[in-house]
Amino acid sequence: MSQTVIAIDGPAASGKGTVSKAISEKLQFNYLDTGKLYRAIGAKYLEGYQPIAAARSLESNDLDKYDLQKPEIAQAASEIASIPEVRAALLEFQRNFSQKMPGAVLDGRDIGTVVCPDAKIKIFLTASLEARAKRRYVELNRHDKKISFETILEQIRQRDERDQTRRSSPMIAAKDAKIFDTSKLSINEAVDKVFNYIQTKI
């Protein structure tokens, strides 16, 4: 029998990482932040690796080698993420992960559409560009006082556009996904709303 899979997709800083982690902890499910896979390949690309080769040889310790939160790594990730061979190289790992006992939460951009189209529960989290840029600004400003709000907003805008318009697995809500707008929600409110919805489905 296949495991319960919860697919949580959405754009940068929509809250999907924090919500996904909280849901996985409440349900004691495994959790995979698939953005980390693309970020690690982006980091390798910035070091001079060829993206397809980096994706095919990705190892779990690559995920701990870099500071994956860096904005330049996020940008590089969204560039290499448009290469179909890079995406294909990550598919099997993500699908195997989704079948781990007792269930799994995966977050990303194409989980409900491509990686786990049969997921029992699909969520698409979104929020206005301004609300997302504000969140990311507060987060990044803790480590880098020099980074400006305008720069972050522009980086997220570019990443949204690239992720939405790429040919291979563009970021889009699955037809059967439940959409939540988190612009005006605190993180606790977002977690509660999503969790309440999941409970009606499990």
Query: Using the rule CB under 6 A, is 10 a contact of ligand C5P?
Result: no
**Parallel, antiparallel, or unpaired: how do β-strands 103-108 and 121-126 relate?**
unpaired
Q: Which of 34, 98, 126, 155 binds ligand C5P (CB under 6 A)?
A: 34
Q: What are phi and psi of 21, to 5 degrees?
A: -65, -45
159 near ligand C5P, judged by CB under 6 A: yes
Alpha helices by DSSP H, the chain: 16-27, 35-46, 51-56, 62-65, 71-80, 84-98, 129-141, 149-165, 187-201
Q: What's the DSSP call for residue 88?
A: H
Q: Alpha carbon of 81 to those of 19, 126, 153: distances in Å?
A: 23, 20, 20
Closer residue to ligand C5P (CB): 161 or 189: 161
Residue 78 within binding range of ligand C5P, rule CB under 6 A: yes
User: Given candidates 163, 177, 180, 191, which one binds ligand C5P under the rule CB under 6 A?
Assistant: 163
Task: Closer to ligand C5P by CB, 13 or 27: give it.
Answer: 13
Give the shortest CB-11-to-ligand C5P separation in angstroms.
8
Beta bridge partners of 104: 5, 30
Q: Does 35 bind ligand C5P (CB under 6 A)?
A: yes
Neighbours of 6 (CB within 10 A): 28
* 109 touches ligand C5P (CB under 6 A): yes
From 19, 110, 122, 123, residue interacting with ligand C5P (rule: CB under 6 A): 110
Asked if omega into 102 is within 30° of 0 (cis), the reply is yes
Q: Does 126 bind ligand C5P (CB under 6 A)?
A: no
Binding-residue total with ligand C5P (CB under 6 A): 14
Interacting residue ranges for ligand C5P, rule: CB under 6 A: 12, 34-35, 38-39, 74, 77-78, 81, 108-110, 159, 163
